[in-house]
Amino acid sequence: MESLQNLVLTTLDREQVIENSIALTLDGAPVDQLALLGALNALTSRDVIVYTPIDVETWVLTDEGTSIADTGSHEAKVFNSVPQGEEGISIAEVQKLLGEVAKFGQGKAFSNKWIKKNGNNLVRLTETIVDKTQLDLQQIRDTGSHSDAVTNDLKKRKLIEKRKSSSFKVEKGPKFTLNVEKEATDITQEMLKSGAWKTANFKKYNFTTAQGIAPVGGHVHPLLKVREEFRQIFFELGFSEMPTNRFVESSFWNFDALFQPQQHPARDAHDTFFLKDPATDDKLPADYLERVKNVHSKGGYGSIGYQYNWKIEEAQKLVLRTHTTAISSWMLYQLAQEKEFRPVKWFSIDRVFRNETVDATHLAEFHQIEGVIADRGITLGDLIGVLHGFFQKLGIEKLRFKPAYNPYTEPSMEIFSWHDGLGKWVEIGNSGMFRPEMLRPMGLPEDVSVIAWGLSLERPTMIKYGIDNIRELVGHKLDLDMVYKNPICRLDKKMGREG
Ligand code: PHE
């Protein structure tokens, strides 16, 4: 930078003006005009020089053009491969010698009347040739130009191409000097000590033309955009959010509290991720634990239970939660500990983990959306009504329910919605009324029922953003551009009557 500034100043001092900066050289090499622009701007800001840009179009040689300028044209090579005399050389021989070049050069060598065919041989028609193509290319390489006829022809043959280049006309400015004092960009300790800061020549802030660095903001992943929409729907319906920051959960809250027997296949290492270190949770509420043990092994509250030997060791095992219903059971237990029962409407949306084989629609982790309502005297009819209200907010009007089984709900219903595009009913969620075997041991009053439902967040997200392989949505194959460019999510929500 400094040497470029020096070059400009000394040249101006000597010649008054630099007509075209393209001619400048530094240590024998042409000056990079972009780097020069930096130096010119620095000098211009101090009125030492003024400059105007010159835009010129020049011709430059392509790789092939360069090779011809160096070693001759294809036609000249063909000519040179033909010996003097009547006999000449066989076409096959020339091909062997020159390969591809023979094919390209022959025609032109014929039309230039340099050689002719004699049977299967090529013979010379002249003793000397002028390789005009080579000479033209050399001229262009040296001067950047030639007559239009020549440049048009060479361009067609892809031997040259146009290049735009910017250079500058530079003249002295009102404060021209050979000794440009370096401007200070910082107040240093020395300046303060010596008082030099009072007279120092400070560089001006460039607030007007400096481009600055493009700020890299965060980008919200599509799953989180859709999650935000679901949160808003729950809030509009008067639900509050459960705290879901418990990715590691004890088997107790994930399974036992939900009346899921200890020998249930879902509690196998094939289906669930168990933790090694720490492997267990020993801070489970003792009296409640006892009631859960009893309801599993002996029954109670009108149930005969599962009639097996319930083991605390199994309940203490830590797992990556397999469903957000683990949060719901933990929250309902807290609710039951309050002095007086109060009705609640809760939801959660967060990540769960299952030891699954990964394919286009399954990963070992995904997100669940869960809604829970606890109140006195609510029924299956309430659940059906709430589900209609919830899915209507998403623009889904037609619902059907199919009896299903969950260890913790009775009755249980799979939720199906009519899919116009597919022309069939598709499963969109699972739901049910929590069993007394789950609620009574917690201490909830007998007339309190709890309805709940769950669905995945991935499925509506993939539909919304047109992604058909889950690995393009989550994981290392994810295209960051997809995350950057996708718009915020607006689900096709129907306004409620209040809307
Ligand atoms: N926990 C269930 C699942 O993992 C979903 C569910 C939630 C079912 C609440 C009923 C009630 O699929």
Whole-number pLDDT of residue 23? 87
Considering the chain, tell me which residue range(s) the CATH 3.30.1370.240 domain(s) occupy. 1-73+131-212
pTM over the 0.85 mark: no
What type of residue is 155?
Answer: K
How far apart CA 327 and CA 429 sit, in angstroms, is 18
CB atoms within 10 A of CB 285: 13
How far apart CA 466 and CA 122 sit, in angstroms, is 65
CA 220–ligand 1 middle distance (angstroms): 27
CA 320–ligand 1 middle distance (angstroms): 16
- 155-178 burial code (b ≥16 CB/10 A, e <16): eebebbeeeeeebbebebbeebee
Whole-number pLDDT of residue 264? 93
Mutate-to-test residue for ligand 1 from 324, 354, 365, 370, highest number of ligand atoms within 8 A of CB: 370
CATH number of 223-485: 3.30.930.10
Whole-number pLDDT of residue 414? 97
> What fold, for 1-73+131-212?
Ribosomal Protein S8; Chain: A, domain 1 (3.30.1370)
Residue nearest to atom 8 of ligand 1 (CA): 431
- Angle at CA 411, nearest 5°, toward 405 and 415? 70
Ligand 1 pocket by Cβ (under 6 Å): 323, 325, 370, 406, 409, 430-432, 452-454
DSSP lists the bridge partners of residue 164 as 57
CB atoms within 10 A of CB 187: 12
Residues contacting 91, CB < 8 A, separation 6+? 102, 117, 120, 121, 122
How far apart CA 452 and CA 414 sit, in angstroms, is 12
Ligand 1 atom nearest residue 455's Cα: 5
Query: DSSP 3-state assignment of 471?
Result: helix
Whole-number pLDDT of residue 479? 84
Question: What does pLDDT average to in each consecutive run of 10 residues of the chain (499 residues)?
Answer: 86 94 89 90 90 88 93 94 89 89 89 91 92 93 86 92 88 91 86 92 82 78 92 95 96 98 92 96 95 97 96 97 97 97 98 91 92 97 95 86 96 90 87 98 97 93 82 87 80 49
CA 376–ligand 1 middle distance (angstroms): 21
